Amino acid sequence: MSEGRAIPEATVARLAVYLRVLGGLAGTGLGTISSEALASAAGVNSAKLRKDLSYLGSFGTRGVGYEVEVLQERISTALGVSEHRAVVLVGVGNLGLALAGYGGFRNRGFDIAGLFDSDARRIGQRIAEILVRPMSDLPAVVRRESVSIGVIATPAEAAQAVCDQLVAAGVTSILNFAPAVLVVPENVDVRKVDLAVELQILSFHEQRKSAGLKVVL
């Protein structure tokens, strides 16, 4: 059953960052990179970077560093970026448009298998070459493309109903951008992205700083 050690979530998030930084390095002709250099480019300390990489095995060269290509390969494989994964995106408002056009998804191996909206005026449009479909098409697309991940970018009021439809269609992981708390069955994994919470946290620290209070990061 269990191969390799489990990788902590915090590490998974950073691995994705390292991969992007390495991508930015492509074309510099740099064949090898030290943990110190990569860490500083990614904004973490080198001990943490080495610890993170150690979850993927040991494939650096002491006294030298890591081969950039090997590093990219290992991280990509671990994250599963090499395989394509189909996702469906529901809600084609401003945020939905931003997400559909966002290159970061495709770069990380995510293909948008379908865009869905309840607004008849949207249906039939093409966004970034992807057709906007009615919600009634959802079950068929999810089945046909073996979609297991759904992204919700609707207004808060619609989010729970959309979530239910996604679950009914067979989606088991949901990324929720709507400002609503979703109720799902046990076997479904929901993750919430709250654009405002990030701003809130930033602002909180800002206030603490100016108040001269100790700030815990």
Residues interacting with DNA, by CB under 7 A? 8-11, 34-36, 44-48, 50-51, 53-54, 58-66, 216
Report the partner that residue 140 touches, choosing among DNA, its own copies, none (CB closer than 5 to 8 A by kind). Answer: none
CA distance 55 to 46: 15
Nearer to its own copies, 36 or 198 (CB): 198
The angle, 0 to 180 degrees and rounded to 10, between the axes of the packed helices 9-25 and 35-42 is: 100
Nearer to its own copies, 99 or 115 (CB): 99
Q: Does 3 bind its own copies (CB under 8 A)?
A: yes
Q: How far is the CB of 149 from its own copies (least distance, A)?
A: 6
Binding-site member from 102, 124, 136, 168 for its own copies (CB under 8 A): 102
CA angle 61, 63, 69 (to 5 degrees): 35
Residue type present at position 127: I
Q: How far is the CB of 203 from DNA (least distance, A)?
A: 17
Binding-site member from 45, 54, 136, 207 for its own copies (CB under 8 A): 207
- Going by C-beta distance under 8 Å and a sequence separation of 6 or more, which residues neighbour residue 217? 205
Please check whether residue 177 is in contact with residue 193, taking contact to mean a CB–CB distance below 8 angstroms: yes
Backbone angles phi, psi at 211, to 5 degrees: -85, -5
Binding-site member from 51, 108, 118, 139 for its own copies (CB under 8 A): 108
Binding track, positions 26-55, relative to its own copies; x by CB under 8 A: ---------------xxx------------
Which of 68-76, 88-96, 116-124, 133-141 is the region at the interface with its own copies (rule: CB under 8 A)? 88-96
Nearer to its own copies, 61 or 93 (CB): 93
CA distance 23 to 25: 5
Please check whether residue 22 is in contact with residue 81, taking contact to mean a CB–CB distance below 8 angstroms: no
Binding track, positions 142-181, relative to its own copies; x by CB under 8 A: ------xx-x--------------------xx-x---x-x
Please check whether residue 132 is in contact with residue 115, taking contact to mean a CB–CB distance below 8 angstroms: yes
Report the partner that residue 151 touches, choosing among DNA, its own copies, none (CB closer than 5 to 8 A by kind). Answer: its own copies
Please check whether residue 112 is in contact with residue 89, taking contact to mean a CB–CB distance below 8 angstroms: yes
Please check whether residue 66 is in contact with residue 35, taking contact to mean a CB–CB distance below 8 angstroms: yes
Nearer to its own copies, 81 or 123 (CB): 81
